[in-house]
Structure 1
């Protein structure tokens, strides 16, 4: 009997170890998508979308944008949903992919949703910008109108191409925004972060479909995106010596994710390590419209190219 007790105890210990090391997905109480991390004053803030579709729904339902934070990559503080499409008087529809960045002590949250049909726009996807003095809000509409509307880009014939903004500020202070479904578009932003500064440029990297993430690391510019080379989506990337290009295709870094048609990159260096955020559909009752944010390590080669992302259920280790 004692031996049976020892065996049972050992099994319970193993199950407990599996439970505590299965970090991914990192948010388990709701469905989250489209991760966008930033670091501010030693804290990593993670901005996400929020899937609220039922198991029977066959399309996206995204109620709002949420904020989480961590200092150890293991414990995540929930700051709620300080922003939703209803924040914008001109908006209607869902809370698609977004990214928040800090500049001059203010936090600018660039979001994609849909525009009401009015005298300004015939509807379609649009990009807005909210602003706050804090990374966790409260946020308000920074300009009272959309920054980008469907009528500003005409290379795609459908109305949902102006989605998924990613923004970064270069070393010289120039800010850039990239976005787009079907084609990638970019434009310079003025220093106030709420006005475009010049014409919109459109291009199409190899296999590009949506979800761009643009950043600079050790003198190299990276354009990472969801690809349409195969179905479901994978993550591929290009590099450049200038944010205006030309962009050199580098290959696939993330294969298909479990139980989700889409995936979405969010990349950050934090406390000496590189992290790759994405989403999949691996929570119970999850799926392509009920997604969950995950994080795994990201590694670079000496020449700056990115190694293949290894997707795990364990996730990343707690920072001591």
Structure 2
């Protein structure tokens, strides 16, 4: 094959692939990637200090008449979906002036949808039979001094309000007389409180490191499954990597409740973006449960957050657990029969790869784009259509999906602003000379701050190039351009010499193993039985982890798997530690 013909052949193949992948981008995606790509609202908490940032947190997701609604703190409206994967924002006819705060939502027999969550803590319960229109009305009864409410109406029609957001007080509840306009009972039921002396994961601080301040217990949510009541709660603080959800189980809506030994059941302390707390659990397509939670950005302010979702299960013993392993990598979406929630096996091809950019502002280096840390970011000198980012994957790999995470650097935007959009393209190349279009957002007029695109046909490339066209913020800032696919090299070897040293303080353990070459990182798995390794912690490069989330009254089992851009190793031999 002559050089000229070879170049022509590559050009034809690339452009055929480009046209095909562009067609596929407009079709329904079969996968998703955390954080969810919502048109998050710009918060007004810190507007008086000229601090602008998007946030979405404390999601209350409910199914109503076969479709789904997501209520999120201070969002000036809510989102609607038919499949739990594609969401559209609804601006209702009537809503809280300040936006709801830590909202509660409940579907009563598909006849009425209830919501509450006034930021003042004093609130009526709102209701409508047409949430798409949003003609909300209020019941006459006023509930006072509530923070983080959770409304639950049982199958027998009895109603309950749970609440709590405190580092002192327990989760509490009142019965509501549904026949008397949700009039609350005089009696308040104190249900359970944090017990951080026994439950390591309830301790405050990044990596549960704060030994002075008490953790916060907040965000209750009730799920009834197989006639058991699972009252979920968040701890220890929304701004930390270890923010998660636990649950207590009872035979009655008001207890007595028993602590679930595999807590926290929703927990994601490692990876690109951390946190899986203050959420809600909903039964989705194919009768698969999903747990939605809050993830921390926490750069502009502590309350800068995003939304995540994880497949959730109940095992044979009735223990509730969410699968957060590789939780910010692509997973199969709700409704993908037989695969929903499962890991695709698409690995990160872009981690710490060589990168070039069109320009750079101050200290915000290009390497921040590929370091797998949402808290670091690159800022271009200008925001125009001459700005670009180019990543060398070093070796060719097959690209299946791309996630682009923008960051708010001095954005100067506040509230729910209509008409925001992001326009850009992403190209791929084998030789750095002939390029094909992988993602075409030239004509995109949707707000996609955490855009995720699954390619219709995977493409083998070595180079990736982002070309900016137009974004809604004054500064072009990117915290992560994440390229997912499959490398062509060797899988890591099985991890050897796993050791777990449980400290005198049984909440803590040091986990070590022999390092390997040619790996990106390790995924540490642990749980209360060899077949219940429900928790995970992803670390990059280092071959040790100080884990501080254990329960003192529980033996644990541990395993570690190594991973690189080619895939994941066989799990190490499971090790029991009393």
Larger Rg: 2
What per-residue deviation string (whole Å, max 9, x for no partner) do you get for residues 81-106 of structure 1? 555433xxxxxx66311122233733
Judging changes above 3 Å, is the alpha-carbon distance between structure 1 residues 314 and 141 closer, same or farther for their aligned structure 2 residues?
A: same
What residue number does 2:67 align with? 43
Aligned residues: 277
Superposition deviation, residue 78 in structure 1: 2.0
Whether the aligned pair in 1 keeps the contact of 2:174 and 2:188 (CA below 8 Å) is yes
Superposition deviation, residue 249 in structure 1: 0.6
Distance 2:315 2:84 in 1: 23
Q: Identify the match of residue 179 of structure 1 among 163, 167, 178.
A: 163
What residue number does 1:226 align with? 234
Judging changes above 3 Å, is the alpha-carbon distance between structure 1 residues 261 and 298 closer, same or farther for their aligned structure 2 residues?
A: closer
Show structure 1 runs of 5+ residues with no match.
Answer: 50-61, 87-92, 115-124, 150-161
Distance 1:11 1:307 in 2: 40
Q: Identify the match of residue 147 of structure 1 among 126, 140, 143.
A: 143
Judging changes above 3 Å, is the alpha-carbon distance between structure 1 residues 77 and 296 closer, same or farther for their aligned structure 2 residues?
A: same
Superposition deviation, residue 221 in structure 1: 0.5
What per-residue deviation string (whole Å, max 9, x for no partner) do you get for residues 94-138 of structure 1? 631112223373322121411xxxxxxxxxx33432222323312
Whether 2:90 is the aligned partner of 1:79: answer yes
Superposition deviation, residue 248 in structure 1: 0.7
**Helix, strand or coil: the match of 1:25?**
coil
**Structure 1 residues 60-99: aligned runs within 5 Å:** 62=74, 64=76, 66-81=77-92, 84-86=95-97, 95-99=100-104
What per-residue deviation string (whole Å, max 9, x for no partner) do you get for residues 140-191 of structure 1? 3332x73123xxxxxxxxxxxx311111111222111100112211011112
Distance 2:35 2:165 in 1: 26
Whether the aligned pair in 2 keeps the contact of 1:259 and 1:286 (CA below 8 Å) is no
| Structure showing greater relative contact order (alpha-carbon pairs closer than 8 Å, 6 or more residues apart) | 1
What residue number does 2:252 align with? 242
Superposition deviation, residue 237 in structure 1: 1.1
Q: Identify the match of residue 290 of structure 1 among 291, 298, 304.
A: 304
**Helix, strand or coil: the match of 1:267?**
strand
Whether 2:192 is the aligned partner of 1:204: answer yes
Q: Identify the match of residue 132 of structure 1 among 113, 125, 128.
A: 128
Judging changes above 3 Å, is the alpha-carbon distance between structure 1 residues 103 and 197 closer, same or farther for their aligned structure 2 residues?
A: farther
Deviates more, 1:234-243 or 1:1-10: 1-10
What residue number does 2:225 align with? 217
Show structure 2 runs of 5+ residues with no match.
Answer: 1-6, 41-54, 195-201, 203-215, 337-578
Distance 1:147 1:269 in 2: 28
Whether the aligned pair in 2 keeps the contact of 1:223 and 1:238 (CA below 8 Å) is yes
Whether the aligned pair in 2 keeps the contact of 1:25 and 1:313 (CA below 8 Å) is no
TM-score by length of 2: 0.42
What residue number does 1:111 align with? 117
Judging changes above 3 Å, is the alpha-carbon distance between structure 1 residues 131 and 209 closer, same or farther for their aligned structure 2 residues?
A: same
Judging changes above 3 Å, is the alpha-carbon distance between structure 1 residues 113 and 146 closer, same or farther for their aligned structure 2 residues?
A: farther
What per-residue deviation string (whole Å, max 9, x for no partner) do you get for residues 177-223 of structure 1? 10011221101111245311341112333346100111211111001
Distance 1:138 1:102 in 2: 16
Distance 2:81 2:99 in 1: 27
Deviates more, 1:232-241 or 1:179-188: 232-241
What residue number does 2:457 align with? none
Judging changes above 3 Å, is the alpha-carbon distance between structure 1 residues 318 and 246 closer, same or farther for their aligned structure 2 residues?
A: closer
Whether the aligned pair in 1 keeps the contact of 2:267 and 2:276 (CA below 8 Å) is no
TM-score by length of 1: 0.73
What per-residue deviation string (whole Å, max 9, x for no partner) do you get for residues 261-295 of structure 1? 78311101123111111121359x77642322221
What residue number does 2:105 align with? 100
What residue number does 1:190 align with? 177
Distance 1:205 1:227 in 2: 11
Q: Identify the match of residue 28 of structure 1 among 38, 43, 46.
A: 38
Whether the aligned pair in 2 keeps the contact of 1:112 and 1:165 (CA below 8 Å) is no
Distance 2:191 2:291 in 1: 25
Superposition deviation, residue 318 in structure 1: 4.7
What residue number does 1:306 align with? 320
Distance 1:286 1:229 in 2: 17
